[in-house]
Amino acid sequence: MGDLKYRVRISTSIDKGLKEALYGYSEQSDIPVSRLMDKAIACYLKHIKVPYTKQSISKQDKP
């Protein structure tokens, strides 16, 4: 596996129903699971008022 320049691999376990919904929505919307996870985690951290700094560059961030 090649190194990732702006991202990091993690491993975790989630509910089977969440996995099915996540991958189904990813396929339907053509949004990669990694981007959906970024958004979901960012929204949750904002909801519980935990500050963070985004360190990756995505196509959506480019001018």
Output the pLDDT for position 4: 83
Supply the pLDDT for residue 18.
97
CA 1 from chain centre, in angstroms, equals: 19
Task: Count Cβ atoms below 10 Å from residue 46 Cβ, excluding itself.
Answer: 11
Query: For residue 56, what pLDDT is reported?
Result: 75
State the pLDDT at residue 58.
66
Question: How do the pLDDT tens digits run along the chain, 63 residues long?
Answer: 568 888 889 999 999 999 999 999 999 999 999 999 999 999 999 999 999 998 877 666 555
pLDDT of amino acid 3 = 82
Nearest in space to 61 (alpha carbons), one of 6, 23, 3: 6
Q: Tell me which residue of 13, 11, 12, 39 sits closest to 25, measured CA to CA.
A: 39
Amino acid letter, residue 37: M
Provide the 3-class DSSP secondary structure of residue 35.
Answer: helix
